[in-house]
Each structure stands twice: as structure tokens, then as C-alpha cells.
Structure 1
């Protein structure tokens, strides 16, 4: 990640998360992001750790390539103690996908819980980097569409 800090030190503790450097630059960066990526990155609840639509703590459930690899759909599953919806992200005009995990070869199956993400402008449109425990994914594409969809989470929905 270029701006989101995934290893903040607070006193003697390390490993804290701080999206503040990214959020401070986001208004300037967002003018160069495609419309869908801009809306996704700038959503007020995106980095609200206590919020139901914060990306932190989601897990990758499914990755599907469509249209000869030009479209990538990721379905991120909710954490029942925090979310009541799943997040579906569609990347259009995909030109590159990098998966990095401790195990070789790196695969979608080796990614754990999403820590945080960062969307940045790119000459093709944008990049979306997601840090997982363990691993990371970087998608380069023309644009992103993100949609929160109903999840089956009786612990949250039923109270």
C-alpha cells in the first residue's frame, strides 16, 4: 500500500491500521479516478471500522473472470459480527491481476481476511490494492463497480 498504513505503532504495540494518510489525499486523488472507483473509494463508511459497510474483516468468497478475462467479479463475504451484507466488486477493462501470498504459487484460495484497501489513479483507469491476512491482490482496470448485497447472517439480522 502506498498511503494506507498497515503497521502503525501505538506505544509498545505495532500492527495497528491507519487509513488517514490515504483519506487526506483522497479528495485530490479522486479527481483522477474513474466514476465507479471514485464512488467506492470515497464512500463515507468505507474506512469506518465500526460501520457495517467498512471493508475491513470481509473475506474473499469467490473470484470469477468473465468476457475473456476483461471483467473480474469478486464476492467478499460478510463477517457476521460486523456486517449484514456481502460486497460484490466488478472490475471492467482488467489488464492485470497480481496475487501475492506466502505460499507459492499464490492463489485466490490462500487469501484470508481483508485488512484494508486502497484505490489509486492509473493511466489505464485505476488500481485497487487489497491487503489480506495473509496476502494481497492488486487489480488494474478501467473502472470499478461496488455493490453491497443482502447476506445470510442470522446472528446480525435476527439481533
Structure 2
């Protein structure tokens, strides 16, 4: 990632995930992002680790290639019940490039839990890089649509912490 630091140091603590540089650049970059990518990247909860719509800790569940040309890709991300109320569906439209890197290969099935992501302007629209435990996904596309959908996750206020 260009701006999100996945191995920052805060005080004496190392290995901290820190989107501060990216968030500082986002106002400048936002004028060059397509509308869907802009809305997703600038959602106030997107990079708030305690936010219900933060991408951190989502798990990749399913990937579909849409249309005859396969230029649209849709991925469903499963919530983490301790943090999220909703699942996330991301659709990348007008995909021109996909790169997957994991220690075990280059397959969608090797990607698991999201660490964080970064969306940047690109000549084709935008690039979306997602860091996973383990691996990385990089997609270059015309635009991104992110939709949060209700889940079967019980309300975090009900029943947790009781035995």
C-alpha cells in the first residue's frame, strides 16, 4: 500500500495498523476518484477500527464474475459478530487488472480476513488494494460499489458477556 501503514510504530508498540497518512491525503485524492469509490473511501466509519462499517476483520466468503466479459467482479465479505452488524458486498465494475498474492498461491480462496484497504485514483478509474491475513488483492477498475447488508448476527448489545 502506498499510504496505509500495516506495520507502524506508535510509541514503543510495533506492528500497528495506521491509516493516518492515507486519511490525510484522501481530501486531495478524492477529486480524482469515481463516485462509488469516493463514497466508499470517505465513509466516516471505513477506517474507524471501532466502527460497524470498518472493513477490518471482515472475511472474504464468495467471489462472482459477472457479465459475459467478466469485467465486473462481486465479492461478499462476512461480518465479524463482535464488531459488525452487516455483511459487505463490493462490486468492482469495468475491471482491467486483478492481482492476488498469498504465501500459498494466487487464488481467491487463499484470501481470508481483511486487515485494511486503500483506494487510489487510476487512469482507468481507481485501484483498490486490500490487505488480508494472509495476502493482498489489487484490483484496477472503472468504479466500486460497496453495499452493506443486514446479517444474521445478533445485536452486539444482547447476550454477549453473559454465560
Class of the TM-score when normalised by the shorter of the 2 chains: over 0.9
Considering only aligned residues, what root-mean-square deviation do their CA atoms show, in Å?
1.2
* TM-score (norm. length: structure 1): 0.95
Equivalents in 2 of 1:71, 1:158: separation in Å? Answer: 38
Tell me the alpha carbon deviations over residues 16-53 of structure 1, each in whole angstroms, 9 at most, x when there is no partner: 01101000000110100000000100111100111111
* TM-score (norm. length: structure 2): 0.93
Equivalents in 2 of 1:152, 1:135: separation in Å? Answer: 27
Aligned length: 158
Equivalents in 2 of 1:157, 1:50: separation in Å? Answer: 14
Contact 1:84 1:157 in 2 (8 A): no
Partner of 2:47: 47
Partner of 2:102: 101
Q: Which runs of 5+ in 2 are unaligned?
A: none
Equivalents in 2 of 1:64, 1:133: separation in Å? Answer: 21
Q: Which runs of 5+ in 1 are unaligned?
A: none
Partner SS for 1:31: helix
Partner of 2:28: 28
Equivalents in 2 of 1:42, 1:115: separation in Å? Answer: 18
Equivalents in 1 of 2:110, 2:118: separation in Å? Answer: 20
Tell me the alpha carbon deviations over residues 73-132 of structure 1, each in whole angstroms, 9 at most, x when there is no partner: 01111001000100001111011111100012x111111210000000000000000000
